[in-house]
Structure 1
Amino acid sequence: MHRLRQFLAAAGTVLAVSALSSCYTYGTEPQWVRGRLSDQPESFRRATLIPAEQWMEQYKQLREDPAYGQRNYRIAIGVPLAVEVVGEGITRSVYVSPDGTVDLPLVGTVYAAGKRINELRRELSTRYEPFFKDKVQVNVNTDRPAAFLGRDNRWSIGGRATVIVADYGVLGKTVDLQGDENLLEALFGYGNGYAAHTNLGAKPELREVAVIREYVTDEATGATDTAIIVCNVERLLFGGDVSQNVPIRHKDIVFVPRRRDTLLEEIHDALGYWAQMLSDTQQIRDIVKAMEKW
C-alpha cells in the first residue's frame, strides 16, 4: 500500500507539472486549441467565409442604389399585407402567419413568405382570374407602420433570427426583427435587456462571431448557397470598428463560439465529472481505503 501511495503522489506531480507547462497566455496557445472558424479545414466547410468588413463594403455599394430596398425586399413572417382586387370590392388586411401563409377570400390559403411583392401580386392575379369575367388587377402592399422601416426610410426585412451560444448551459434565443437590426442589437438587445437574456457564456470568442446566412444564387431555379459572415465583435466594442456590426436579416443564425484559453482548460473540460470527483479529498480517501481491502 505504501508503494501505491508513492505511485499516486508521483503521478499527481507529473500531472501538475504537465498542466502548469500547458498554461499558455491567451493568444499564444496552439491554433487547434481555440477551435476558431477560420482555422477549420476547407474540406469541412459547407459555406463561404466572408470577413465582415468585405461584406459591409459590398452592402454599402448596394444601398447607394435608391431602388435597392424595393427590389430586394422579400415578405417575412408576421408582416401585415394589404390585398385589393381592384374594382371587385375585395380588400383585405392580413398578417403573414407563422407558417408563411395568408388566407384570402375565394382563393383560400396562399404562401407569401419569402416572395417579392410583385411575385405575390402576379400569383394572386392568376388565382383570382377564374372567378371574374374580365382580367383582374390585384394590388399588394406592405401595410407596415413607420417603426418597421429602416432609419433611411427604405424597406427592410422583418421576421426572426436565431442566436446560438456554444458555451455550456447557455440557451439559444430567437430574436424578433422589426427591420434594420444589426449584430449588436441581436446579441444584446433581445429579452427586454434583462441580463439573463444577454448571456453569451463565460468565455465567448468575440473575435469570430458568425452570422450564417442563406442566399439565392439562381432566381430562376431558386437555388441557394450559404455564407458565413465572420464578425470581430471585440474590435467593434473596443475599437469602434462599425464595419463589424452587420445588419441581421430574416432566418439568419448568429453563432457565438466558445473561446479556449489554455490546454489546461481543454483538459479540465474534457475530464468534466472525473476531474471534479478526483479533486474531492473524501473521494480519494474512500478509494484508498477500498484498495487497502484488496
Structure 2
Amino acid sequence: MSISGSNTWLSGLFVLLVLLFTVSVAQARQEGSANSTVGGITTDEYHIGVDDMVQVEVWRNPELSVTVPVRPDGMISVPLIGDVSAGGRSAQDVARDIEQQLAEYVREPKVAVILTELRSHEFLSRVRVTGAVNRPVSLPYRQGMTVLDAVLEAGGVNDFAAAGRTRLYRKDNGGATRSLPVNLQRILRRGDLETNIEVQPGDVITVPERAL
C-alpha cells in the first residue's frame, strides 16, 4: 500500500471513530438524564410539577438549551417553539414532545430534559395532621418520623379527641388510598408504641372527635 493510500485509510478510520464517539456521548447523555436521581428520587418515574426547575438540552444547538421553572399553568418556555406542556408528565415525555415540535426548524433534533430541582415534591411529600388536634399542621417529611412525632408537632390532641380511633391514610403506588388504624390513646397514655407507625411522604393522620 502506498503512503498516500495509507494516510487516506487512517483518515477515514479516524473520522469513523469520531462519529462513533459522538453518537455514544449523545446516547449516554440522554440515558443518563432518563435514569438520573434528584434528592433520592428516580426522575424517570417522577411527574413534573409546578415550580420544578427543568433543564432542556438540545444537542448541537446550545442556543436552544435553557433552564426554566414550570409555571403555575404547567407550561415551560422553550426557544423557537414557545410554550410546552410539562406539568404532570415525565421528563422523557416532555423531551419527545419538544423533539417533535423542533423538527419543523431543526434537522433531527436530540433533546434531553433534566430535572434539576424537584420543588413540587417537597409539597407533595409533606405529612399532614388533621382533626381533633390543637394545631392542624402540614409538616415536611423527615426520615424516621412516626405518628407520635407528627401529632406532637400538631400540639397534641385536644379535649374532644377520640384518640383511640385515629387513622392514617396512605396512597399506594396504584393511587388507591389505604386506611391504617392508630391507637393514639394507648400511645399517649400508656406508651404502647405498637401502632406508632413510621410515616411516609404524603401520609395524612386524622384524629376524630368524640361523639357527644
- TM-score, normalised via structure 1 length: 0.43
> What secondary structure sits across from 1:131 in the alignment?
coil
CA distance in 1, matches of 2:89, 2:75: 11
Equivalent residue runs for 1:176-215 within 5 Å: 184=147, 187=150, 198-199=154-155, 201-202=157-158, 203=161, 205=163, 208-213=166-171
Q: Write the letter of the residue equivalent to 2:171.
A: R
Flag the structure with higher helix content.
Answer: 1
| Residue among 203, 208, 211 paired with 1:258 | 208
Offset at residue 213 of structure 1 (A) = 3.0
Q: Which protein shows a greater Rg?
A: 1
Distance 1:74 1:230, change over 3 A: same
CA distance in 2, matches of 1:109, 1:185: 45
- In structure 2, the partner of 1:247 is 200
> What secondary structure sits across from 2:103 in the alignment?
helix
Offset at residue 113 of structure 1 (A) = 2.7
- In structure 2, the partner of 1:94 is 68
Are the equivalent residues in 1 in contact too, given 2:147–2:196 (CA < 8 A)? no
Q: State the identity %.
A: 16
| Residue among 135, 143, 151 paired with 2:116 | 143
Offset at residue 248 of structure 1 (A) = 1.1
Name stretches of at least 5 consecutive residues in structure 2 with no aligned partner.
1-40
Offset at residue 212 of structure 1 (A) = 4.6
- TM-score, normalised via structure 2 length: 0.56
CA distance in 1, matches of 2:51, 2:149: 18
- In structure 2, the partner of 1:130 is 104
Are the equivalent residues in 1 in contact too, given 2:131–2:208 (CA < 8 A)? yes
Aligned pairs, how many? Answer: 166
Distance 1:97 1:86, change over 3 A: same
CA distance in 2, matches of 1:236, 1:78: 38
RMSD: 4.2
Name stretches of at least 5 consecutive residues in structure 1 with no aligned partner.
1-67, 149-155, 217-224, 261-265, 268-294
> What secondary structure sits across from 1:187 in the alignment?
helix
